[in-house]
């Protein structure tokens, strides 16, 4: 979760943009749009969601490593957390 006001604003802006893309997709589907533009919109939404996920994940990882920088045992636990997060992200 973004913790600084700047990060929070950036993430919320991305979420609102994704919501706009989803609204446009819904309208296109209701109007019976052709498959190609619908598929392009779905791909764009998927890319936007992946970008959002990557940004939030990056923020989280940076926080974890900063907190554990001085404690080797804690860093080892954080590394395991990172591995777990990456695995769940890649499923």
pTM above 0.95, yes or no: no
Q: Where are the alpha helices (DSSP H) in the chain?
A: 5-30, 35-67, 72-90
Residue 61 lies in domain: 5-90
- What confidence score (pLDDT) does residue 33 get? 95
For the chain, 91 residues long, give each residue's pLDDT as a single digit of tens.
667 888 889 999 999 999 999 999 999 999 999 999 999 999 999 989 988 888 887 777 777 776 666 666 666 677 677 767 776 776 5
Q: What's the domain count of the chain?
A: 1
CATH code (residue 21): 1.20.58.1000
CA atoms lying within 13 Å on the CB side of residue 7 = 13
């Amino acid at each position: 979760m973004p913790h600084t006001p700047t990060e929070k604003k950036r993430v919320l802006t991305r979420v609102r943009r994704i919501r706009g893309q989803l609204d446009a997709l819904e309208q296109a589907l209701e109007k019976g749009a052709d498959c190609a533009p619908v598929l392009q919109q779905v791909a764009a939404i998927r890319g936007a969601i992946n970008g959002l996920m990557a940004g939030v994940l990056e923020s989280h990882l940076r926080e974890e490593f900063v907190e554990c920088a001085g404690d080797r045992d804690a860093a080892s636990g954080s590394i395991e957390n990172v591995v777990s997060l990456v695995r769940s992200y890649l499923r």
